[in-house]
Amino acid sequence: MAEEKESLNFIEQIIEADLASNKHGGDVITRFPPEPNGYLHIGHAKSICLNFGIAQKYGGRTNLRFDDTNPVTEDTEYVDSIKADIRWLGFDWDDREYYASDYFPQLYEWAIQMIRAGQAYVDDSSAEEIAAMKGTPTEPGKESPYRTRAMSENLDLFQRMKAGEFEEGSRVLRAKVDMASPNMHMRDPVMYRIKFAHHHRTGDTWCIYPMYDFAHGQSDSMEHVTHSLCSLEFENHRPLYDWFIQTLQIYPSRQIEFARLNVEYMLTSKRKLLRLVNEGFVKGWDDPRMSTISGMRRRGYTPASIREFADRVGIAKRENVIEFSLLEYCVREDLNKVAQRVMAVLDPLKLVITNYPEGQTEYLPTENNPEDPQAGTREMPFSKVLYIERDDFMEDPPKKYFRLAPGNMVRLKSAYIIECTDVVKDSNGQVTEVHVRYIPESKSGQDTSGIKVKGTIHWVAADTALNCEVRMYDRLFTVPNPGDDPERDFTAFYNEESLRILDGAKVEPSVKEVQVGEGFQFLRKGYFTLDPDSRAEHLVFNLTVNLKDSWAKVAAKGQPA
């Protein structure tokens, strides 16, 4: 990995060559251009890290530009969430917050200029007629009967389109390029359409809106973006963007395409994510199972781990699919360094220490993070009645079971060695209580008992533990690429077990101080974070990631003490 990191990716190679030849006077200006029609997802995170990261690396700048050319699907709610997500990821666009809609007047001027130069015309054909005349990749298209319209008539009609004289769909403005071009995007693309729609920024000022293809390249140009990094699907649009730039004689931004990020079990299509929300598969855009940045934040993924993931994935020229476990690995690595360890019992079983004094509580020091010596220790209250994890006890264990069983001794983490003496069962034969005896001389840190045990288990004291709800998450889909099946809709692969709620969990009292968004480790269980649904009297935790990759081919043996 280290060697790979040092070698330059193909975009960095281009940029370094441009810097060496002083092509842009030493400037590196990139942009992140979201359309505010949904929440950002892991794919956007990749693009953000790439655009901001590369500008940072070369002392350049990155603009945030909202590509808001379609008033029907866009909303300020999305603008706000996008800004919050980028900031949370750790990037800043300073005062360079731009909107394609701010360029509407300039784009209109350019359209007029093109009409005057005979490079654009108003077409009265319907959308269906235009589509039918478009041809196919192997057959040339047909020229519209309106293509030869006089310049003065085009000018008049376009101005009247703007003035609101014509109905939606009745006319469009098209660029006069080449109906026989092998590139379908060059076959007289539509530049403007009529839409009587309220725009989130320009209100009702306009009833004609530029197409994305007539806005995007020029927006880059106006901002003097030196390197416009796009996903591969725009490769075929590049000749058109270049054609507009040449026709208008404006600053030539250079577009460079890279492969979109795809991650197993994660969707990277706003349209599909919106369906998951609307059809009730998840609770909202920020459901912790979602591949949105807001979902990952709520899940407890850290900005550093997502940045690291983006970095490790690198950039490619060809589509590929990244394993989900790489993302989880990055999350785990980061949390391992920073997350405080606490004890929580997710499936509690009562444990009574028969020889421990009734009503006594002692405070036992325990380390906050063995990976971080600076993290210090805290005091855990310990008393006669505790909870342990149900699966840390077996009445009739197999050989080499080192946890608690009749006649077996284990250490309670940071406390004492105990020995099981008895169990209490309900009428169904289910164990409801385990009775143990503790060894007073075996206190952690001052053990003089001389007893060696093979297992250590975690616990919480019954009288001080806090009740909580723990939401356990699994992959949202049952197959890695739910969108790839030609026969079945991706929702057919929804994993019904992607959310499992444990409502009777118990957690040590120190988490009272925890804030939403803070990540910590429930010892032996995984990394968790407090959910915003949490209330003082009802704490709610989300599973961020398991301690080990439970899906890894080589299953981990046993649990660490």
CB of residue 453 vs ligand ATP: minimum separation in angstroms?
50
Q: Which letter, b or e, does each residue of 241-264 get, where b requires 16 or more Cβ atoms within 10 Å of its Cβ?
A: bebbbebbebeebbbbbbebbbbb
- 41 in Cβ contact with 291 (< 8 Å): yes
Distance, CA of 555 to CA of 532 (rounded, Å): 33
| Residue whose CB is less far from ligand ATP, 270 or 471 | 270
- 1 in Cβ contact with 22 (< 8 Å): no
The footprint of Mg ion on residues 263-322 (CB under 5 A) is none
Distance, CA of 270 to CA of 500 (rounded, Å): 25
The mark string for 179-218 relative to ligand ATP (x by CB under 6 A, - otherwise) is: ----------------------------------------
Q: Which letter, b or e, does each residue of 159-173 get, where b requires 16 or more Cβ atoms within 10 Å of its Cβ?
A: eebbeeebeeeebbb
Residue closest to ligand ATP (Cβ):
43
Beta strands in 100-221 (DSSP E): 120-123, 172-175, 190-194, 208-210
Binding site partner of 260, from Mg ion, ligand ATP, none, Cβ cut-off 5-8 A by kind: ligand ATP
Active centre residues (catalytic): 35, 260, 270
The footprint of ligand ATP on residues 230-249 (CB under 6 A) is 230-231
Looking at 119-127, 172-180, 265-273, 452-460, which segment touches ligand ATP (CB under 6 A)? 265-273
Looking at 31-39, 146-154, 334-342, 452-460, which segment touches ligand ATP (CB under 6 A)? 31-39
**Phi and psi angles of residue 424, each rounded to the nearest 5 degrees, phi first:** -115, 135
Kindly state the helix (H) or strand (E) to which residue 380 belongs, with its residue range: strand 377-382
Binding site partner of 524, from Mg ion, ligand ATP, none, Cβ cut-off 5-8 A by kind: none
The footprint of Mg ion on residues 13-42 (CB under 5 A) is 35
| Residue whose CB is less far from ligand ATP, 266 or 468 | 266
One-letter identity of residue 547: L
Binding site partner of 47, from ligand ATP, Mg ion, none, Cβ cut-off 5-8 A by kind: ligand ATP
Binding site partner of 187, from Mg ion, ligand ATP, none, Cβ cut-off 5-8 A by kind: none
Q: Pick one of 268, 414, 498, 529: the residue that binds ligand ATP (CB under 6 A).
A: 268
Residues paired with residue 352 on neighbouring β-strands, in sequence order = 385, 435
Tokens 């269980």 — which residue?
525
Applying CB under 5 A, what is the total number of residues that bind Mg ion? 1
Looking at 108-116, 193-201, 267-275, 367-375, which segment touches ligand ATP (CB under 6 A)? 267-275
The footprint of ligand ATP on residues 394-413 (CB under 6 A) is none
CB neighbours (10 Å) of residue 561? 16
Q: Pick one of 11, 29, 39, 44: the residue that binds ligand ATP (CB under 6 A).
A: 44
Distance, CA of 198 to CA of 72 (rounded, Å): 8
CB neighbours (10 Å) of residue 323? 14
| Residue whose CB is less far from ligand ATP, 81 or 559 | 81
Residues that bind ligand ATP (CB under 6 A): 33-35, 43-44, 46-47, 230-231, 260-261, 268-270
Residues that bind Mg ion (CB under 5 A): 35
